[in-house]
Structure 1
Amino acid sequence: MKLEHWSLRLRVFLFFAFLAVVAISGEAVGLYLGFTRMDDPAALGGFVFAGVIAGFATLAVVAWVWFLFDEHVARPIQRLAGALLARAHADVEEALDAKTARYLGDLAPAAQAVTANLAATRNKLAETVAQETTRLVEEKQKLTALSAEMPHGVVLLSGLHKIAFYNGAAAELLSADHPPGLDHSIFDLLRARPILSAYARLCAGEGGDGHVLPLTVATVHGAEVLSARMRLMHAPDEGDISPPYVLTLDDVTADLALHAERERLLSRLFDRLRPSLTALRTALAARMEENGQDDPRLDTALTSEIERLTDEVAALDAEYEAHKSDWWPMAQVRASELCDALTAQLAEEDIALAADTTDPMALTLDAVQIVALLAHIVRRLSAEGARAFSFLISRDEDAGAMLALGWSGEPLSVDLLENWLREPLDVGLADMSGRAILRVHGTEAWPEFGRGSRAVLKLPIREARRLRRSFGDGRRTATYDFDLLSRTPPKELMDSPLSDLAYVVFDTETTGLLPSQGDEICQIAALRVVNGKVVETESLDQLVNPGRAIPPSATAVHHITNEMVKDAPKIDVVGRQLHSFARGAVLVAHNAPFDLEFLRRHEAGIGAKFTNPVLDTVLLSAIVFGQSEEHTLDAISTRLGVKIPPEARHTAMGDTIATAEVFIKLLRMAEEKGIRTFGDALTEMRKHKRLLQDANERTDA
């Protein structure tokens, strides 16, 4: 090992040890030479005794001086170096504590002046850059908003087929198998063969000047079929034989199913009509051969075939009507948005409506038509004297959702309702009545008696789904990092630069600290870090049903109660989500062996093993700041200027956010100390293995 790789404190200790050895050796040699000159063997005991006393005294003095030097010079220099490194590479703005290096003379004030000047220069530069980039940021936000709301999925990929951009529609299309993520391979989500074939053809010059090819591709598990267009970002050249490309995606699974259903109906129509028509033609030909003479058998055959043909046509017509609504252009609308739209439209006419929904749901319908129909009925009811209108959307076992319009007053008769349904409505199309709207939605509306003096009109919607819990504001966003387009082919993990790796920072909350004695996970949170930045739109935050009671002592720490987790999924389900979320990434945690032990105990139920490489912020902190410092999350955060809100501490997502910020800063500081690759980091972490076990080494039971 090279001398410059040794820590300062170790080198100081070795220097004083060498000094002690030299001094004691010099005393021993001097006493020995003195004894040989005396020619008195009896004096040997005295010389030995003097040598021992002198040796211990020398050793004590050297040790005392070393301790003072280590305490007031070496250790403060190490702390000062860590603080300077943090301010240079981790954007820490707090001033240096002069007391840390009060025995180092002018070094501490000089370091304070340097860091203060660095902070002032950085602030001026940041202010200048902010002023110059305001317009660009606004344009970027507009572009992001536009691309996020595009109805088609858009994915930008590098020549290595890694994702560098995806919009909200693409995230919804591709999340059935695995959620998409920056730097993930597109082949985790879509079948590889059609994409590789189209890409090779485009790079070979097909697609014309626009470098565009259409293709059809299925998701990995074949659940959806997507119509796609592939476009090269630029023509391949000698310097870039694998150019980036764009995939525009549209889900045609339902369209193909509807087309197949229509083909099936037509096929059934022809198959059923063909023998009936043949039989009719034969019966008619036989009747003509009888020269007008009546034959009861022919009449019976004709009548039977006509009745059979009528029944077949009626059955096919009913099936056609049942499926016709699937061919009408529909969209998914939130139940709450439908309530808001109806309330707002009636408010313009001074009609009050109390609208609500029992569950967060998305309904598949034409919102303009349904709102127009319901508003039309409310107006007619209001003219008839009805009052106190209410509107409720609820889940329905038979239909997907049930729309219930209620009012105080006389119940609605079927005949009057039918008259109102025949009236034309203004929905942007000609000849659209309420009856036509119900027909295209494949549904019906009927009146019922309500509770007390209230009456109800019910209207079922066939397709509705419960919305999953969302941790954002509900808006679709575009996620991107265009630097990923210039990535070089990946190297072996140990030789891969730390800056080129994707990371998943995670944390767990548990029922206790002893997994071997039955403690379990009750919450998991995770964030992705790509290119040294947290990807804010890619996160996992999920309560877990631990299958056992959460002790009050644990609830006092993380505030998770038994009531909160009683309907949460088990660790088998959430563990699969985390495993999918972390595919192809390095796992990062604070005290990672603790969290991984809980997960690895459930690998059989999860159906996957957590074999990801692991980095630990405890050991990274020891590399940067030295093993003698405190390495709790709070202590590291304080040194690096990372603020943890008190209400977020000891929550899975709060600790994950703090760990991610700490990790990014530690990574930059470690790279400044010459730790460039994952192999370098692993080697240095293992020097501090007495702090923690190595999470990269595992034993399978």
Structure 2
Amino acid sequence: MRRQKGLWGAVMAGALALGAWLVLTLGMLWSTLEPHEQAQVAELVAPRIALLFMAWVLAAIAWWAFWQHVHRRHIGAPQRLAEQVRGMLGGASSKRLAVQGEAGMAALAAAINALADQREALRGDVAAQIEQASQGVQQEKSRLAALMAELTQSVVVCNLDGRILLYNNRARLQFRALSQAPTLAGGAELVGIGRSIYAVFDRELVAHALERIQERRARGASHPSAQFITTTRSGQLLKVQMAPVGQVGSDDAQAPLAGFVLMLDNVTRHFEDEAQRDQALQALTDGSRSALANIQAAVDMLGFDDLEPTMRERFLAVVRDEVRTLTTRLNDSTQRAAEGLKTRWPMEEMLAADFVVAAQRRIEAHCGFKVVVDEVEAGLWLRVDSFILLQALAYLSQRLRDEFALPFVALRVAAAGGRAQLDLIWNGSAMSTETVMSWEMDPMRLGAEHLPLSVRDVLDRHSGEMWFERDRARAQAFFRFLLPQASAQDGAEQVALAQLESRPEYYDFDLFSVRGIASDLDDVPLTELTYTVFDTETTGLNPSGGDEIIQIGATRIVNGKLLRQESFEQLVHPGRAIPAASIPIHGITDDMVRDQPAITAVLPAFHAFAQDTVLVAHNAAFDMKFLQLLERRTGLSFRQPVLDTLLLSAVAQPSQDSHRLEAIAERFDITVLGRHTALGDALVTAEVLLRLLPLLQQQGIHTLRQAREAAEKTYYARLKY
């Protein structure tokens, strides 16, 4: 607000000068009059002194209007132009200057635009040459992104401080399962570029694994690694394999490490299965020991020649009963062991609808007739070896075509008592039980291809069954397969994985060179800080008067990059009705928040998401007031530093007429999407912050302390809620 102070100072100085000139003129005129003339003038002027004062006031107002016009046209306009040029120079905006005002300013703006166009053209040429020269690097980068995206194992790369540099889709899904609030933060409070892996793993455990790797490197091991199993805070059991990452460009095996790679495997279910098998084995052992003891005692008694017939029959009955019990127990254990082996066979979780489409293509390609999809239950997941099961369906379809000259077959899938029921249907002809058994037991043949497996082998591999049925009402016959369903957890994991982007943007190898940031963030350069940029939508504008948060949205900036995929967005039930007057602004209705969690459930997840970062908001005093009022209710406080893009804009561009978010975005040529949604405003605010940082550096503001001190001196810093 230095510009406003200077304007008012000039206006006041001019008004005082005008008054002084008026007083001096009257004094000079008074000195030329004779005493009797002075008396006459005083008698005439005294009743009209108010008119002289009013004339001075009107002259001062005219002076103010004139000076404001002159200042805006000849002083303010060049200042605004200079700020816009600095924005273009620092890369904050690519928007061209508006050519307006007097001829000289318009010509200057046009010349600056021409220079900017020339610079953009040169930059484009340089970028094209750089892109052409770095095509090989980009290709390798794309291959790495594709490889990491499609890996079925969770992979996380960290620097030596435990800051995450890279993670793949599977790791993102894995951390979501480990989250204590998976439906709110989705694991985003645990995994993210620049976040600490120690939010999941004990620091000492990781340090011990690194020491073991260093010892193996010192002994000359070419590929040292370490493994450990740990329990997460959410109670999951993780098996972790750690491998070192050496310094870039160093072939020395003893050179210091740059970081480490973690390959994660959730073994909770496997561990539970093993525990169940151990318990079953222990029960079998204990039960068999008792049965064998009883049998041995009975056999010993049967060895006596003088044993009475009734006693002999009693001991024989004991032997028969114990043998029967032991046989039953062994059969049950064998069946459970077989089920365990089958579940460990490398099956895949597949949506039934996708499997039917694949079967339709495979049968049509092999048999040359139409395949109709009769009915597929939505949301049904299968756990199958899809390749060999498709081969079996194609084989049976081929035999049906050869035997009965069918024009088409149909497929139908539905759930049936915890299993999946797959039907291969045709119209008309039936067949004998002997034919069905023959087709089931014969080795499969598809054209000239001979397969070593039979349909029975395929069924055994899936622990399934198949039989022949007729539907006389519809004049149909069909083979019915009973197949295993995927568990609800497996299906959910596959859906979540399918919804993730196949090419991740969440990696930043520049963080290899970043070591631990000092705990005193005030002295850290602005470009090295990690930011959580957030926004809230509320029931109204009076946090102290009972208004509540109805939505929180946030995103992260790490290493000067906006990580759009690492975001937080959640509707909140406010515990009160949303005023009708506020609904047109944010578009959130009572129906939208009716089934949403309360702020006491949402705020802990957001608190974890924003941990160890600098908070950023536009008009942050408003949002922070809501968070501060929630401290007593939730027990959570946000003690990290806060930056306000409203204040920073006033620091970087003080001559601009408006510092509203829309006005700043327009100056910086930022596309505004989802205005007045919490996440949409947070993303725009993050873009604004990235544009403001170079402008602040031009003014000598490089650290967080300098930015906060400059912001506190602005006029807008006096806003309170």
Q: Which category of TM-score, normalised to the shorter sequence, fits these structures?
A: 0.7 to 0.9
- Aligned residue number for residue 290 of structure 2: 275
Is the contact between residue 443 and residue 450 of structure 2 (CA under 8 Å) also seen in structure 1?
no
**For residues 53 and 260 of structure 1, do their structure 2 counterparts lie closer, same or farther at Cα, with a shift above 3 Å needed?**
closer
Residue deviations 1:657-701, cap 9 Å, x none?
433322321233233333323333333333446478569xxxxxx
- Aligned residue number for residue 663 of structure 1: 689
1:459 aligns with 2:499: no
1:345 aligns with 2:362: yes
Code of the residue aligned with 1:463 in structure 2: it is: A
- Aligned residue number for residue 192 of structure 2: 181
Residue deviations 1:183-203, cap 9 Å, x none?
000011223332121124445
**For residues 429 and 389 of structure 1, do their structure 2 counterparts lie closer, same or farther at Cα, with a shift above 3 Å needed?**
closer
Q: Give me the whole-angstrom Cα distance separating, in 1, the residues matched to 2:471 and 2:631.
A: 52
Q: Secondary structure at the match of 2:100?
A: helix
Q: Which is further off, 129-138 or 543-552? A: 543-552
Q: Secondary structure at the match of 2:123?
A: helix
Q: How does 1:240-639 map to 2 (within 5 A)?
A: 243-288=258-303, 290=305, 295-348=312-365, 349-350=367-368, 351-354=370-373, 359=378, 363-379=382-398, 391=411, 399=418, 402-405=420-423, 407=425, 409=427, 420-425=439-444, 432-444=453-465, 453=474, 457=480, 459-465=482-488, 466-467=491-492, 474-475=501-502, 477=504, 479-491=506-518, 492-507=520-535, 525-541=553-569, 575=603, 577-592=605-620, 613-626=641-654, 629-639=657-667
Q: After TM superposition, give the deviation of residue 314 of structure 1 in Å.
A: 2.0
Is the contact between residue 426 and residue 432 of structure 1 (CA under 8 Å) also seen in structure 2?
no
Q: Give me the whole-angstrom Cα distance separating, in 2, the residues matched to 1:381 and 1:565.
A: 56
Q: Secondary structure at the match of 2:616?
A: strand
**For residues 507 and 341 of structure 1, do their structure 2 counterparts lie closer, same or farther at Cα, with a shift above 3 Å needed?**
farther
Q: Secondary structure at the match of 1:92?
A: coil
Q: Give me the whole-angstrom Cα distance separating, in 1, the residues matched to 2:465 and 2:37.
A: 123
Q: After TM superposition, give the deviation of residue 145 of structure 1 in Å.
A: 0.4
Q: After TM superposition, give the deviation of residue 240 of structure 1 in Å.
A: 9.2
**For residues 433 and 190 of structure 1, do their structure 2 counterparts lie closer, same or farther at Cα, with a shift above 3 Å needed?**
farther
Equivalent residue for 1:674, pick from 690, 700, 711: 700
Is the contact between residue 162 and residue 183 of structure 1 (CA under 8 Å) also seen in structure 2?
yes
Larger radius of gyration: 2
Is the contact between residue 349 and residue 381 of structure 2 (CA under 8 Å) also seen in structure 1?
yes
TM-score (norm 1): 0.80
- Sequence identity (%): 27
Code of the residue aligned with 2:130 in structure 1: it is: V
Code of the residue aligned with 1:198 in structure 2: it is: A
TM-score (norm 2): 0.78
Is the contact between residue 447 and residue 458 of structure 1 (CA under 8 Å) also seen in structure 2?
no
Code of the residue aligned with 1:88 in structure 2: it is: L
Structure 1: 5+ residue stretches without partners: 1-5, 696-701
Is the contact between residue 219 and residue 225 of structure 1 (CA under 8 Å) also seen in structure 2?
yes
Residue deviations 1:438-497, cap 9 Å, x none?
444445556778896267746353433354668966526362111112113212233332
Q: Give me the whole-angstrom Cα distance separating, in 2, the residues matched to 1:602 and 1:388.
A: 66
Q: Which is further off, 674-683 or 685-694? A: 685-694
Code of the residue aligned with 2:664 in structure 1: it is: I
Q: Give me the whole-angstrom Cα distance separating, in 1, the residues matched to 2:244 and 2:138.
A: 27
- Aligned residue number for residue 218 of structure 1: 231
Residue deviations 1:161-180, cap 9 Å, x none?
11011122222222222331
Q: After TM superposition, give the deviation of residue 433 of structure 1 in Å.
A: 4.0
Code of the residue aligned with 2:350 in structure 1: it is: V
**For residues 201 and 541 of structure 1, do their structure 2 counterparts lie closer, same or farther at Cα, with a shift above 3 Å needed?**
same
1:227 aligns with 2:240: yes
Higher relative contact order (CA 8 A, sep 6+): 2
**For residues 243 and 30 of structure 1, do their structure 2 counterparts lie closer, same or farther at Cα, with a shift above 3 Å needed?**
farther
Q: Give me the whole-angstrom Cα distance separating, in 2, the residues matched to 1:483 and 1:230.
A: 19
Structure 2: 5+ residue stretches without partners: 180-186
- Aligned residue number for residue 173 of structure 2: 172
Is the contact between residue 211 and residue 232 of structure 1 (CA under 8 Å) also seen in structure 2?
no
Is the contact between residue 149 and residue 504 of structure 2 (CA under 8 Å) also seen in structure 1?
yes
Code of the residue aligned with 1:461 in structure 2: it is: P
**For residues 53 and 609 of structure 1, do their structure 2 counterparts lie closer, same or farther at Cα, with a shift above 3 Å needed?**
closer
Q: How does 1:69-148 map to 2 (within 5 A)?
A: 69-99=70-100, 104=105, 107-109=108-110, 111-148=112-149
Q: Give me the whole-angstrom Cα distance separating, in 1, the residues matched to 2:240 and 2:105.
A: 69
Q: After TM superposition, give the deviation of residue 71 of structure 1 in Å.
A: 1.2
Residue deviations 1:486-534, cap 9 Å, x none?
1132122333322222223344566776778887766654432212222
Q: Secondary structure at the match of 1:175?
A: helix
Residue deviations 1:555-578, cap 9 Å, x none?
766666777777766666655554
Is the contact between residue 363 and residue 393 of structure 2 (CA under 8 Å) also seen in structure 1?
no
Is the contact between residue 225 and residue 241 of structure 2 (CA under 8 Å) also seen in structure 1?
no
Q: Give me the whole-angstrom Cα distance separating, in 1, the residues matched to 2:431 and 2:594.
A: 46
Q: Give me the whole-angstrom Cα distance separating, in 1, the residues matched to 2:703 and 2:539.
A: 36
Q: Give me the whole-angstrom Cα distance separating, in 2, the residues matched to 1:597 and 1:644.
A: 25
Q: After TM superposition, give the deviation of residue 159 of structure 1 in Å.
A: 1.6
Is the contact between residue 509 and residue 524 of structure 1 (CA under 8 Å) also seen in structure 2?
yes
Q: Give me the whole-angstrom Cα distance separating, in 2, the residues matched to 1:604 and 1:336.
A: 51
Q: Secondary structure at the match of 2:510?
A: helix
- Aligned residue number for residue 205 of structure 2: 194
**For residues 76 and 478 of structure 1, do their structure 2 counterparts lie closer, same or farther at Cα, with a shift above 3 Å needed?**
closer
Q: After TM superposition, give the deviation of residue 386 of structure 1 in Å.
A: 7.3
Is the contact between residue 236 and residue 266 of structure 2 (CA under 8 Å) also seen in structure 1?
no
**For residues 565 and 620 of structure 1, do their structure 2 counterparts lie closer, same or farther at Cα, with a shift above 3 Å needed?**
same
- Aligned residue number for residue 699 of structure 1: none
Equivalences, count: 685
Is the contact between residue 181 and residue 538 of structure 1 (CA under 8 Å) also seen in structure 2?
yes
**For residues 108 and 475 of structure 1, do their structure 2 counterparts lie closer, same or farther at Cα, with a shift above 3 Å needed?**
closer
Is the contact between residue 538 and residue 547 of structure 2 (CA under 8 Å) also seen in structure 1?
yes
Code of the residue aligned with 1:584 in structure 2: it is: D
Is the contact between residue 280 and residue 305 of structure 1 (CA under 8 Å) also seen in structure 2?
yes
**For residues 616 and 335 of structure 1, do their structure 2 counterparts lie closer, same or farther at Cα, with a shift above 3 Å needed?**
farther
Q: Give me the whole-angstrom Cα distance separating, in 2, the residues matched to 1:515 and 1:452.
A: 69
Residue deviations 1:536-584, cap 9 Å, x none?
4323455667788888877766666777777766666655554443333
Q: Give me the whole-angstrom Cα distance separating, in 1, the residues matched to 2:98 and 2:358.
A: 59
Q: Secondary structure at the match of 2:689?
A: helix
Q: Give me the whole-angstrom Cα distance separating, in 1, the residues matched to 2:82 and 2:15.
A: 28
Q: Which is further off, 401-410 or 246-255? A: 401-410
Is the contact between residue 302 and residue 315 of structure 2 (CA under 8 Å) also seen in structure 1?
yes
Q: After TM superposition, give the deviation of residue 636 of structure 1 in Å.
A: 1.8
Is the contact between residue 338 and residue 367 of structure 1 (CA under 8 Å) also seen in structure 2?
yes
Q: Which is further off, 6-15 or 313-322? A: 6-15
Code of the residue aligned with 2:371 in structure 1: it is: A
